[in-house]
Amino acid sequence: MKSILNPKFSALCPKSTTFTPFSLPSQFPTRFSFTNNPSRFPNLLRRNPPPFSSLIRSLQTDPTPPPSGEIHVIVGPMFAGKTTSLLSRIQSETASGRNVAIIKSSKDTRYGLDSIVTHDGAKLPCWALTNLSSFKLKFGVDAYEQLDVIGIDEAQFFDDLYEFCREAADHDGKTVIVAGLDGNYMRRSFGSVLDIIPLADSVTKLTARCEMCGKRAFFTLRKTQETQIELIGGVDVYMPVCRQHYVNGQVAIEAARLVLESQKTQCGSHTHT
Ligand SMILES: [Zn+2]
């Protein structure tokens, strides 16, 4: 299975040439110097250049700097349109002639494993993987080289998200667009999604509509009594809610859970008597 979209575009539009941000004419002095205004800086600085002067020099003279990629993160509660937003960005990259691939977690089998489908029905081919580190080999090293953009959906399910995104953007020059839940049903950080915020060029937090009152919804309320963190489900299990209805809902669900537990205990004690 190969999910490069519109490969004909990539053939017509080769990867853009590498931009060298620090290139300078060879006669330009590469040594970092404060001598233009000696009164502002102690002589110590001029006699013993600070360690970063050698770093600046190496940046100026490095003939092959690594290609520069990008990381864009889309977060929000369930039903906020994260996958729709991801697919829309991917489609616009494809329309610009860029070579793209989409990865999703193999844990989510609700819509089949070979395609990604939004709640409103849009559908694109994708790779369903258990971890991101296997992507390069499975996709093919040569095909990976040709990729410009990698989309990752349901990013909260990938434990190696940080390492993959850093490698892809910093060293491989890829644009990585990541969509995932920032918080779980307990409003705690979910997986590694928040860990990649310091790596990101941009972060977008989307909102849904509160199912109870129609206001903007920032959180995902689990309607059932299950307590494991990873529980794949749709509208049967989850609903988007505003802050007020999240708090009210949690209270109601906790009360229902306690009633159920006490009933179970009573049933259990009956069977022993
Ligand atoms: Zn509400």
pTM over 0.85: no
Distance in angstroms (rounded) separating the CA atoms of residues 78 and 225: 18
Residues comprising the chain, all counted: 273
Separation of CA 204 and ligand 1 centre (Å): 22
Distance in angstroms (rounded) separating the CA atoms of residues 70 and 174: 7
Separation of CA 251 and ligand 1 centre (Å): 14
Catalytic annotation, residues:
154
pLDDT attached to residue 52: 66
The CATH number that domain 207-273 falls under is 3.30.60.20
Give the C-alpha distances (Å, rounded to integers) separating 161 from 15, 27, 94, 183, 204.
25, 43, 23, 16, 17
Give the C-alpha distances (Å, rounded to integers) separating 111 from 75, 121, 233.
21, 10, 11
Separation of CA 89 and ligand 1 centre (Å): 29
Separation of CA 85 and ligand 1 centre (Å): 23
Separation of CA 218 and ligand 1 centre (Å): 10
Which is higher by pLDDT, 51 or 187? 187
- Kindly list the domain boundaries of the chain, sorted by start residue: 70-206, 207-273
User: Mean pLDDT, to the nearest integer, of 233-246?
Assistant: 91
Q: What's the pLDDT tens digit per position in 36-87?
A: 444 444 454 555 656 667 766 666 666 666 668 999 999 999 999 999 999 9
Top CATH class of 70-206 equals alpha beta
Separation of CA 217 and ligand 1 centre (Å): 7
pLDDT band of residue 202 (cuts 50, 70, 90) is: very high
For residue 75, the tally of other CB atoms under 10 A from its CB is: 22
Has residue 270 got a pLDDT over 70?
no
Has residue 2 got a pLDDT over 80?
no
Separation of CA 239 and ligand 1 centre (Å): 11
Ranges 56-65, 83-92, 105-114: which has the least confidence: 56-65
Same fold: 70-206 with 207-273: no
Task: Evaluate the CA torsion angle 114, 127, 104, 152 in order and state its sign.
Answer: negative
